[in-house]
Amino acid sequence: MTSRKQFDVVVVGAGIVGLAHAYHAHQRGRTVAVIEQNDRAAGASVRNFGHACITAQSDLALGFARAGRDHWLELSRRAGFWSAETGTHAIARHDDELAVMHEFAAARGPDDARVLNRSEILDRVPAGRTGVVGGMYLPADLQVDPRTAAPAIARWLEFVGVQFFWHTSAISFEPGLVRTSRGDIGADTTFITVNHDIDRLFPDVTDDLALQRCALHMMKAVVPLRFPLATPLFTGWSLLRYSGFDDLPSTTRVAERLHRTYPEYTAIDLHQMYTPQPDGTLLIGDTHIRELSTSPFQSEDGFDVLLEVTKELFDVTTIDVVERWQGVYSTAPGREFLLREPLPGTHIVTVTTGIGMTTSMGLALSSVEKALGATAAVA
């Protein structure tokens, strides 16, 4: 950068949260720039399940998730990445899990959740038959391709006039100014959407919240299923993961039983779930290890557990692992979002648990409307 550039809106971080802010700001006719330290999106936004897990959220997150649903579908159409209105299936392998599903469906109604009996779930999900007692279908959930969604949105935003500064790090902030590794950029409004790296830019804010990095084991594999899995799949562990299930009477029973029966899975904070990919593979995950700095040494134990529980669930003896990787997102006790304005016009927007794909579009809509006003969107 030779002379100082000036934009209405500068977004720091080209993950899905940053791209969603750039999208909504651009929709409001603002000049927008995105600053990203890597040469492409390479953070949590390309390492996840691609599951817009709308229904299992509660409160603020549920509002963001619902508000973002149509924007995901619109962006999929405009930017040209794969998405599907599949809904989510959940399989119950114990009566207490089915009890949670009945309670959830009763609380939410049939547009959100439908309980399935044993033969219905086994007709829809290619699980082994042993121990299955029923299931649930959440019709409103979406899937996107996590590998291509963020890169495609970035390409499309660039095409419609958003300026990207790739391989450029934001270093510090002043009102109306972002100092970067390639010079200063003027910004009327700045959104800092750098996920867990927010602790490198605003340690005073994150120390107070005990923000950490959460590292996850993930794999992509070919599993010889009795028929293809058509939707994301939750297990009993999922009922302990999402806030929508938190206050149901039977959730504690599921937690107590799973933790008592599987202490070794509890130690790695297992969440057994799956998303089918358009190429026929399954994304399989995950585990959760929370530390301030993520260890570079990823134990095989987490992958072994994922393979073991997957073989048992689908009643298969072989799994052909195509890729293994570590995902990282920010986590803070008892909190799903970190939203602050540390300087006038400079907004921190961080999703502090693993729901950024689900909530990013609606979260960004809310923070852009608050910062820029709820002006009508341009076509």
Ligand X SMILES: Cc1cc2nc3c(=O)[nH]c(=O)nc-3n(C[C@H](O)[C@H](O)[C@H](O)COP(=O)(O)OP(=O)(O)OC[C@H]3O[C@@H](n4cnc5c(N)ncnc54)[C@H](O)[C@@H]3O)c2cc1C
Rounded to the nearest 5°, which phi and psi values hold at 277?
Answer: -105, 160
The least CB distance from residue 134 to ligand X, in Å, is: 24
Candidates 87-95, 190-198, 256-264, 369-377 — which segment interacts with ligand X by CB under 6 A? Answer: 190-198
Candidates 32-40, 153-161, 303-311, 336-344 — which segment interacts with ligand X by CB under 6 A? Answer: 32-40
The least CB distance from residue 307 to ligand X, in Å, is: 17
Residues in contact with ligand X, shown as a per-residue x/- string from 322 to 361 under the rule CB under 6 A: -----xxx---------------------x--xxxxx---
The least CB distance from residue 260 to ligand X, in Å, is: 27
Residue 187 contacts ligand X per CB under 6 A = no
Q: Which of residues 288-327 bind ligand X (CB under 6 A)?
A: 327
Candidates 41-49, 84-92, 112-120, 235-243 — which segment interacts with ligand X by CB under 6 A? Answer: 41-49
**Given candidates 47, 93, 147, 347, which one binds ligand X under the rule CB under 6 A?**
47
Q: Residue 177: how many CA atoms within 13 Å on its side-chain side? A: 7
Residue 15 contacts ligand X per CB under 6 A = yes
Token pair listed for 302: 């987490």
Residue 68 contacts ligand X per CB under 6 A = no
The least CB distance from residue 330 to ligand X, in Å, is: 8
CB-wise, 134 or 151, nearer to ligand X? Answer: 151
Residue 277 contacts ligand X per CB under 6 A = no
CB-wise, 250 or 330, nearer to ligand X? Answer: 330
The site for ligand X, by CB under 6 A, has a size of 41
Residue 38 contacts ligand X per CB under 6 A = yes
Residue 170 contacts ligand X per CB under 6 A = yes
Token pair listed for 258: 């799973």
**Given candidates 219, 286, 332, 371, which one binds ligand X under the rule CB under 6 A?**
286
How far is the CA of 265 from the CAs of 43, 289, 330, 379, in angstroms? 26, 12, 21, 49
The amino acid at 188: D
Residue 16 contacts ligand X per CB under 6 A = yes
Residue 244 contacts ligand X per CB under 6 A = no
Residue 145 contacts ligand X per CB under 6 A = no
CB 359 within 8 A of CB 351: yes
Q: Give the binding site for ligand X (CB under 6 A).
A: 12-18, 35-38, 41-45, 47-51, 53, 169-170, 193-195, 197, 216, 218, 285-286, 327-329, 351, 354-358
